Structure 1
């Protein structure tokens, strides 16, 4: 029986060596901190690793979403006072004489009221004795002067008043999560984004769930509703044919790895910081977490990333780059960084396992592998003793 015992013991040793040689295949929720760090140094790495210092956190805290004022400009456009195709226009004419050109058939001697006209596709209206008048793209005052000049040879000192009674061309379309979607005419004084939203009845749900999307021509930009309200610079003037849409856009982030809970977490706060985000999932797991390996995965504009990694290059068509921010909580100042690092919508937070946790898993695997072998060897030894 002794050869049998020797075979079992050798088998146990071989099994242990096999487990040891394949420790990289141990169960894990993601890469180790060392793997992420070494991967960032590869020639064709798909991401940029940025260790977060206090200076980096402060710099990121100052960065805002691309402002609407930068995308569209903050100046008021005067085109809303211009007549456009489809507008309803009235023309009133007065003369200095009661026996003038427009006296006949008028209830008021020396004056005439031209019925309401819609500006044609050619941008014109018709005025008796003045003919076809080009009005599209002009102000009512400019059209007034044109008509007066056209009538001056026939009428007696004509005075003209041009009025737009229905502004159909200079409108903004408001839709989405507002109380009353529709087209809103612009006034010569100009309207801002919040004016237009208020005219449409305002939002019909809580502000933290909404984003405001503005489309002008082929350009579209989106901003959180709370930011639009809190930052007056973002409340830009709208222009003719803008489309303003209120979109329901709940914000969330996900947590994986050695946290006390792996979950997708929605948040209502206008500004959520990393310490608050980790607290929502119960913080780091004391038995598994590598305090040096708190990573935040995000896509950032390449211009922003180059402030920390000058050689960064965009890997996506929209000019963004994959970024992994690393926070070291072994450093006591790391908790100050948590308080200043803002979580963005769709961030992914990953907590790497500690090396001790990997050793513990390895030890568990070894013990579960060797224990049956040792029990088998003991059983064989007992049989051998009985046979003597």
Structure 2
């Protein structure tokens, strides 16, 4: 019977020894120590940044770049200049009914030249006046040019130039608006919200939208709520701008030793880390390592270099994989929660404490060994009865 006990108990000992390896202990992710140690490697796939008030301030200022800085806030000098593709009409009157443009009605001569688009060369054609340069001129300047060309042939000619289809002085509004299309600009200048309103306004609630502005080769995107609440963002648009309203629900994901692991959508234009953690019930008191609150994010290398000057791009788009660490064992860490902004698609990971790992190890060993030990005891009792 003693040999049987040795045969049965031996596997239990082997299992207990095997479970001393951390890789066999169930875990929701890496420990805080593991994350910190791998960040020191020469070829580390991420940069670990301990969040301080100065780091939080840098990150907050990086997210507050107004469109007036990106594109400028100046109003366009004039939106009345004629451009290529614009459709114009020209009306001509003379002081006598016997002039070039006589109508045959016995009244002062006059006629209207049919609508015509401004050619690719920027010109229009006027009978007797010939080819007239129209592009990059105001209607008054084109009027003066036609009158000057006719003054030796017509009798005191008077000209009226009218733009009936304004193609060059427009912006394109598309996306989640009631009516997509080209919006002609007014002489006084139009701002972003003006042209969005002219297009019928957003089709969904503003907190679900981002506004993308493309001007030339440059594109900037801001939340719709920020455009509404910050007057600096409501800049003047320029001819040729493309304004797109994009439906972009924002969310973050929480894993690890939180009260709940979940993907959470949020409507706030500015969501801070304390609010994000509150949405999932905070840290799990029995499991969480308060020093190990990590935020995974990809950041532009220019921004990371303001914190870590030696940072280099890690992805083809020039971004860097960054893990931000917040230490809630430090009483001031809770102030950091109130100043650290959560971005769209952030991943928040809360590491397990070392005590939680020990507890899991003890539970695993106990769960594995107890049935075997109980079996040995039963067999021993049976053996005693047989004797």
TM-score > 0.5, shorter chain as reference: yes
SS of residue in 2 equivalent to 1:364? helix
The Cα of 1:120 is off from its aligned counterpart by 3.4
Aligned match of 2:14? 14
| Structure 1: runs of 5+ lacking an equivalent | none
1:103-140 deviation digits (Å, cap 9, x = unpaired): 45367415444343332344322222111212123222
Change (3 A) 1:10 1:110: closer
Does the 8 A contact of 2:95 with 2:108 survive in 1?
Answer: no
3-state SS in 1 of match to 2:173:
strand
- Tell whether the 8 Å contact from 2:257 to 2:284 is kept in structure 1 after alignment: yes
CA distance in 2, matches of 1:31, 1:106: 94
Question: Secondary structure, in 3 states, of the residue corresponding to 2:356?
Answer: helix
SS at match of 1:16: helix
Distance 1:322 1:161 in 2: 62
Q: Which residue is 1:221 aligned to?
A: 220
Query: In 2, are the aligned partners of 1:78 and 1:188 still within 8 Å (CA)?
Result: no
Aligned positions of 1:83-232 closer than 5 A: 83-95=82-94, 100-103=99-102, 105=104, 108-109=107-108, 111-232=110-231
Deviation at 1:67, TM superposition (A): 3.6
Distance 1:79 1:149 in 2: 24
Deviations 1:14-44 (A, max 9, x none): 3322222x23321111111111111111101
What per-residue deviation string (whole Å, max 9, x for no partner) do you get for residues 165-220 of structure 1? 22133222212211222211112322111110011111122110111112233433
Alpha carbons 1:61, 1:341 under 8 Å: kept: yes
Tell me, in whole angstroms, the C-alpha distance in 2 between the residues paired with 1:266 and 1:380. 58
Moved more, 156-165 or 131-140: 156-165
Task: Output aligned runs, 1:261-340, within 5 Å.
Answer: 261-340=260-339
Q: Aligned in 2, Cα 1:174/1:159: closer, same or farther, shift over 3 Å?
A: same
Q: Deviations over 1:74-110 (max 9, x none)?
A: 3333463221233221223344556544445367415
CA contact (8 A) 1:4 1:380 kept: no
What secondary structure does 2:293 align onto? strand
- TM-score, with structure 1 as normaliser: 0.92
After TM superposition, the structure 1 stretch with the greater mean CA deviation from structure 2, 319-328 or 154-163, is: 154-163
TM-align CA RMSD: 2.2
Asked if structure 2 preserves the Cα contact closer than 8 Å seen for 1:48 and 1:322, the reply is: yes
User: Matches of 1:106 and 1:250 in 2, distance apart?
Assistant: 67
Q: Compared with structure 1, are the counterparts of its residues 162 and 200 closer, same or farther at alpha carbon in structure 2 (3 Å cutoff)?
A: same
Query: After TM superposition, where is structure 1 displaced by more than 6 Å over at least 4 residues in a row?
Result: none
The answer to whether the 8 A contact 2:103-2:111 is kept is no
The answer to whether the 8 A contact 1:65-1:223 is kept is no
Q: Say yes or no: does 1:346 pair with 2:345.
A: yes
Moved more, 72-81 or 123-132: 72-81
CA distance in 1, matches of 2:346, 2:184: 40
Q: Is the Cα–Cα contact under 8 Å of residues 171 and 240 in structure 1 kept in the other structure?
A: yes
Cα gap change, 1:380 to 1:97, in 2 (>3 Å):
same
Shift of 1:226: 0.9
Contact 1:2 1:384 in 2 (8 A): no
Question: Normalising by the residue count of structure 2, what TM-score does the alignment of the two structures yield?
Answer: 0.92
- Which deviates more from structure 2 when the two are superposed, residues 59-68 or residues 175-184? 59-68
